[in-house]
Structure 1
């Protein structure tokens, strides 16, 4: 008895220790998750939004006597402790043939930041970094500070109202260039800017990133078409997946006989949630695009063949494919919400004379609405970040037309569209200058996270509103 009592006391002591430690382990896990999320957001904010802040330009003189100008990007340690190497963005690709330059730090004899260094964003060439000598406009010529003031005045005007002008430019090593003003997009003199002017330039750059289309193989410009395409596709996907997911969950939980077949169906639905997304893309390509879309072209658009209308990737097929991908998520979340509704609620409604349909529509479904929205939240979070299936069923690197315009029927479901996830992938791996695209990759990733967060918060607020109205739990 003594040894048994001692053993029992020892077990109780161990369980008591676990009870004391377990909350701390859970709290540490939550804290670690929040720290990792905060670190991710901080990285995206610093690298993404920091790209639009006007960076200082340096004029560097090497020990060999060579002079170059550019923006210092980063330092990298050389192997075998041979010192550091610094990467400069020098631009001027049409003059030097390259726009990036690695310089050994020990070779630098002098570094200056002259106020008169300018940076011009041009099309089609890369940025120009150097000095503005003069502006020639018809029979007039501006030099020095007057030339810079004239340049900023012209760039502030719409492109159609600008005078035909030429810029006379010179690099820090003495090479000259005549640049047509029509090919200049923006101009900066960052070393001479006060902080408030840099903040204004930063906000203008962020706005142009959000409101303009991409340029130069997605390494410049904005992402507005991708934002619009992402939000529109997610909305269409939600409209398509919600009714089918809810109806399937109602059938499985409220109508179907709870036997072996129903259990097998539930297992199949849960397994579908783990199928790789590219498999859904292949299914959408074969069934929706080539199957249904090809048949629609033969029946209704035969006069445009062999040019396909619905027999190619588009907004409709992408939305249907992602609706099919997220359907198991909505079914499972809704069914779990239905299962948590007390049986007494159903029995009480029937006892008061309600039909089965009235009981479902007026009692059960309103109480399960928060669970339905939970499923939609999870579906939106997954669909907004998917890339692999969209590459097969409708996403484009650059869509020539928006899916919505002023022409009837206004919403063109057959058109291809841009997506932030695919834009992020294409910019990072398929751009002409991956190094120049890295800041835009961070900015696009931050924007995608914020859009998913905004869509999720909208659904969460609606869920809490319904929960307060019905007093139900999700």
Structure 2
């Protein structure tokens, strides 16, 4: 036993056990997130429950079963239930929707109170733009003010989808572009007035352009109102679970589905369709409904900008510390500072970014280059650029340390050989040292991406918001608007999970968004790893 300990085998087994436990924990966590998140997109059966309430009156409840749990029977002693001395009672969490009729989307029902449970084939689930889902039976279909056969429902859904696409294009593309141009002309005129360079000819030219744009705006607004009028004439009359007739305009309807009629193949197609919609659509209903495309776009854009900023800064700093800086007190102080920066809490970086970059640098830029917009700030407010720079500083120590370690592994004989052949020190660095150290540089960038993509605390101070009306990238010059605020998947998880007005509805959405964030981080890391492996293979011969 003593020889076995001295041989070092126990520490090898302990290391292997630690790695195995970590791997199992990570796989288990991913499995939990994936199972809870992907179940959010599966089209569940819709149940109709016939129940007896506390007063013995029959009621009807329609909805999807979201969860089941058992509670101690003694907690229900105040209810007049025949539990037959049972110790536990099962209850169901049912999503009933129909917000215009009931105050909550979800309700708990006790299994002993259920008289009959069924899944009628004619129950309809309507996904709406506002007020969440509606569950019930179709009573009548109204097209252009007249009742028509239910067979025309797919035709009407296709028609309203086409109208909605046209209205969205008019609002976001055409009308949005006109508003943007009018605002730029207003700022241009104000800038001329501040600089006292506004001539009558310039003022008249700007006025003519504004008049022309306003005329185009009026024409587009008339087209938009006409489309809304066409959509508003189509209605769907629904019979809710309590027998009430509710009229739903087609302009509020996104999808109508008979979940209980779907076979496995159709449910699978709808499953992937809902995942695609989740990825490509905008959020609705305080982020508890719809998709997360703005958050995906903001996360990826911010990480890419951060990578572009931190990579050259980290590599140049590492080259200076390893290749040029002397072994003196200043260099030691710089190394200690880099190590200490890696341990600073991320929220401190957010406070620094808000105070220095946003208020000081951004405020100075506004005074120098955008005086016509003041007091409304342009760069003197949180935005995607300041978020990227703040995270670049946060991840800078990781890139510096990784790059410097890669440089230290290169033998000095290679440097001496290059210099002996007549190359300058700069040529040696560019053609010999950096190519060999490129895998280590990519390792630092991979670690920086992994940390930056999951950071939320500093972003809350320097750019991220709950809901961004416009993406940082659009069709208006200069196309990439680095001054705009943006949405982020990490903050979206926090907001939906802890700030949502409807906790039960938000719970599966939290898992789905977390799974998407992990997937994006893994995809970014795998891309960087593949680049690193190619560089390693390319310069393997040179390294040896």
TM range (shorter): over 0.9
Please, which runs of 5 or more residues in structure 1 have no aligned partner?
A: 1-9
| Residues 133-144 of structure 1 mapped to structure 2, 5 A cutoff | 133-138=139-144, 140-143=146-149
The CA deviation at 1:259 is 2.5
Residues 384 and 97 from structure 1, CA distance in 2 versus in 1: closer, same or farther, beyond 3 angstroms?
A: same
- Inter-partner Cα distance in structure 1 for 2:361 and 2:25: 44
- Inter-partner Cα distance in structure 2 for 1:54 and 1:158: 26
The CA deviation at 1:406 is 1.8
Residues 124 and 13 from structure 1, CA distance in 2 versus in 1: closer, same or farther, beyond 3 angstroms?
A: closer
| Residues 69-468 of structure 1 mapped to structure 2, 5 A cutoff | 69-79=62-72, 80=74, 81-138=87-144, 140-143=146-149, 146=151, 148-149=153-154, 152-154=157-159, 157-159=162-164, 160=166, 164-468=233-537
Give the structure 1 partner of residue 59 of structure 2.
Answer: 66
Q: Is the 8 A contact 2:315 2:399 kept in 1?
A: yes
Give the structure 1 partner of residue 3 of structure 2.
Answer: 12
- Inter-partner Cα distance in structure 1 for 2:449 and 2:145: 60
Deviations 1:220-254 (A, max 9, x none): 11111111111111111111111111111111111
Q: Which moved more, 1:72-81 or 1:151-160?
A: 151-160
- Inter-partner Cα distance in structure 2 for 1:69 and 1:148: 22
Q: TM-score, normalised by structure 1?
A: 0.93
Decide which of 33, 37, 44 is 1:48's aligned counterpart.
37
- Inter-partner Cα distance in structure 2 for 1:386 and 1:467: 29
Q: TM-score, normalised by structure 2?
A: 0.81
Residues 61 and 154 from structure 1, CA distance in 2 versus in 1: closer, same or farther, beyond 3 angstroms?
A: farther
Residues 60 and 154 from structure 1, CA distance in 2 versus in 1: closer, same or farther, beyond 3 angstroms?
A: farther
Residues 13 and 100 from structure 1, CA distance in 2 versus in 1: closer, same or farther, beyond 3 angstroms?
A: closer
Deviations 1:421-459 (A, max 9, x none): 111111111122121111111111111111111111111
SS in 1 for 2:246: strand
The CA deviation at 1:27 is 2.6
SS in 2 for 1:464: helix
The CA deviation at 1:303 is 1.3
SS in 1 for 2:100: helix
Residues 173 and 340 from structure 1, CA distance in 2 versus in 1: closer, same or farther, beyond 3 angstroms?
A: same
Deviations 1:23-43 (A, max 9, x none): 333332222222212112212
Residues 195 and 13 from structure 1, CA distance in 2 versus in 1: closer, same or farther, beyond 3 angstroms?
A: closer
- Inter-partner Cα distance in structure 2 for 1:301 and 1:125: 42
Q: Is the 8 A contact 1:313 1:394 kept in 2?
A: yes
- Inter-partner Cα distance in structure 2 for 1:12 and 1:78: 56
- Inter-partner Cα distance in structure 1 for 2:348 and 2:277: 37
The CA deviation at 1:156 is 5.7
Pair 1:38-2:38 in alignment: no
- Inter-partner Cα distance in structure 1 for 2:251 and 2:44: 25
Q: Is the 8 A contact 2:160 2:251 kept in 1?
A: no
The CA deviation at 1:13 is 4.5
Give the number of equivalent residue pairs: 462
- Inter-partner Cα distance in structure 2 for 1:439 and 1:185: 20
The CA deviation at 1:157 is 4.3
- Inter-partner Cα distance in structure 1 for 2:358 and 2:25: 40
Residues 265 and 89 from structure 1, CA distance in 2 versus in 1: closer, same or farther, beyond 3 angstroms?
A: same
- Inter-partner Cα distance in structure 2 for 1:166 and 1:261: 75
Q: Is the 8 A contact 2:45 2:119 kept in 1?
A: yes
Residues 59 and 323 from structure 1, CA distance in 2 versus in 1: closer, same or farther, beyond 3 angstroms?
A: same
SS in 1 for 2:474: coil
The CA deviation at 1:185 is 1.3
- Inter-partner Cα distance in structure 2 for 1:149 and 1:266: 67
Decide which of 12, 24, 40 is 1:23's aligned counterpart.
12
Q: Is the 8 A contact 1:135 1:151 kept in 2?
A: no
Q: Is the 8 A contact 1:301 1:309 kept in 2?
A: yes
Please, which runs of 5 or more residues in structure 2 have no aligned partner?
A: 75-86, 167-226
SS in 2 for 1:83: strand
The CA deviation at 1:306 is 0.7
Residues 147 and 105 from structure 1, CA distance in 2 versus in 1: closer, same or farther, beyond 3 angstroms?
A: farther
